[in-house]
């Protein structure tokens, strides 16, 4: 399960050299309830207190807007954010 929310869209491409390029802010809820990490002995190393879901905020920008407005989008940054948890699947 994934929940994606577009928070803002800014298509201003007035100064790419200064980083003023089209950028979209997206919040993504991830679900790791079915993910496990095991050590060499096959034992889980995941804390039982790990939350099953969380939110990451991405800024997706297009530094090639003039030459590639459709395919030039790349993740410019991401960070964990605190929000009400989404439902685990």
The answer to whether residues 42 and 68 touch, using CB atoms and an 8 Å cutoff, is no
Is the model's pTM score more than 0.85?
A: no
- Report domain extents, the chain: 3-81
Q: Where is pLDDT greater, at 1 or 12? A: 12
Residue identified by tokens 């979209």 is 24
Tens digits of per-residue pLDDT, 25-60? 999 998 888 999 999 999 999 999 998 899 999 999
The answer to whether residues 34 and 60 touch, using CB atoms and an 8 Å cutoff, is no
For residue 62, with 0-12 CB atoms within 10 Å meaning exposed, 13-18 middle and 19 or more buried, which class applies? buried
């Amino acid at each position: 399960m994934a929940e994606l929310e577009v928070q803002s869209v800014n298509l201003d491409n007035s100064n790419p050299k200064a980083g003023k390029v089209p950028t979209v802010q997206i919040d993504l809820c991830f679900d790791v309830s079915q993910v496990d990490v095991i050590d060499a002995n096959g034992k889980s190393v995941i804390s039982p207190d790990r939350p099953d879901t969380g939110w990451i905020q991405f800024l997706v920008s297009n530094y090639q807007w003039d030459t590639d407005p459709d395919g030039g989008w790349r993740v410019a940054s991401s960070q964990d954010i605190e929000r009400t948890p989404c439902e685990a699947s």
